[in-house]
Homo-oligomer: A and B are copies of this chain.
Amino acid sequence: MELVTGGAGFIGSHLVDALVSNGKTVRVLDNFSSGRLEFLSHHEDSEAVEVVKADLLDSEAVRRAMSGVEVVHHMAANPDIRLGTTVTDTDLKQGTVATYNVLEAMRLEDVGMISFSSSSAVYGEADVMPTPETYGPIKPISLYGASKLASEALITAWCGTFGAKSWIHRFANIVGPRGTHGVIYDFIHKLKVDPSRLEVLGNGMQEKSYMSAHDCVQAMVHLVDNTDSDVNLYNLGTGDTCSVRRIAEIVVEQSNLEGVSIDYTGGDRGWAGDVPKTSLDVDSLFSTGFRPEMMSEEAIRNTASALISEIGL
């Protein structure tokens, strides 16, 4: 039995799909704050997926959910990085403390393996790009990035002190169907309100690594199956980047709307804590034999098309 925290969320639900298609039995633990039952509706009649509604801050519920579990895929987190600029305790609670509760429940119930969705946000504004896993010292600039690094540290400490085994995946920006946040999602919602104009926060020059949710969960599964250290820490991405300007153009193209004006508010970042440029070095991931099916632009185009269908214009 594999436990997926946040398994009804955007990336979590894609991971459930991947695990089920590999023949695994999956228990989903989700508080449905951003997860949706409909993301798992195609498993409704399957014996392979069990859904438990509970919050990771309820440590008793987390402990109960560990029963019979071999591997925990800890995907649950606040998905809205920008929220940290106005509400400062969300990432601490739903990120750091939630991860502590997961690890403590694992220790008490003798569950020995954890695969964790970390983020390139841990690197903050790195001096070296593409940024390899060996880059240091890392200085996250968002509260979200801080909670991811704090969670990584808790995981390595649990491995070092109590003998657990872990996979830490530092995700690029992950995009795809069922997205519930992020730049593509925001652009489509803006076009829905005003189909004549797309306002872009910042100057559009921000440039980041993107990866499709499908490739992301395939990479996670690949690493868990093919790497075997106590702590297996990898960047997950495609190796290329895409600018916000290009994303705006792709979303407008996919919308089939005519005469949309794209307006930039200016400034080198969208909001405080936003990293203007990220580029992940994925040589380590590729050295394990993994290759993504889509590069950044294709993942974005694909996502724009899927989300336009989901959201409706």
Q: Which residues of A contact B (CB under 8 A)?
A: 84-85, 88-89, 92, 96-97, 100, 104, 107, 122, 124-125, 133-143, 145-147, 149-150, 152-154, 156-157, 159-162, 231, 233, 272-273
Known contacts A92-B100, A137-B134, A156 near B146 by CB under 8 Å? yes
- A272 CB contacts on chain B under 8 angstroms: 160-162
Could you pull out 13 A-B pairs where Cβ atoms are within 8 angstroms?
A84-B161, A85-B161, A92-B97, A136-B137, A140-B153, A140-B156, A143-B157, A146-B153, A147-B153, A149-B150, A157-B273, A160-B272, A161-B272
User: Which of B133, B137, B162 is the one whose CB lies under 8 Å from A233?
Assistant: B137
A133 touches B137 (CB 8 A): yes
User: Which of B134, B141, B153 is the one whose CB lies under 8 Å from A145?
Assistant: B153
- A124 CB contacts on chain B under 8 angstroms: 156, 160
A139 touches B156 (CB 8 A): yes
Known contacts A89-B100, A154-B150, A161 near B142 by CB under 8 Å? yes
- A162 CB contacts on chain B under 8 angstroms: 272
A138 touches B136 (CB 8 A): yes
A153 touches B157 (CB 8 A): no
Cα of A146 to Cα of B166 in the assembled complex, Å: 15
Shortest CB distance A107–B (Å): 7
A146 touches B157 (CB 8 A): yes
A141 touches B154 (CB 8 A): no
Shortest CB distance A247–B (Å): 23
- A143 CB contacts on chain B under 8 angstroms: 154, 157, 161
Known contacts A150-B150, A153-B150, A104 near B88 by CB under 8 Å? yes
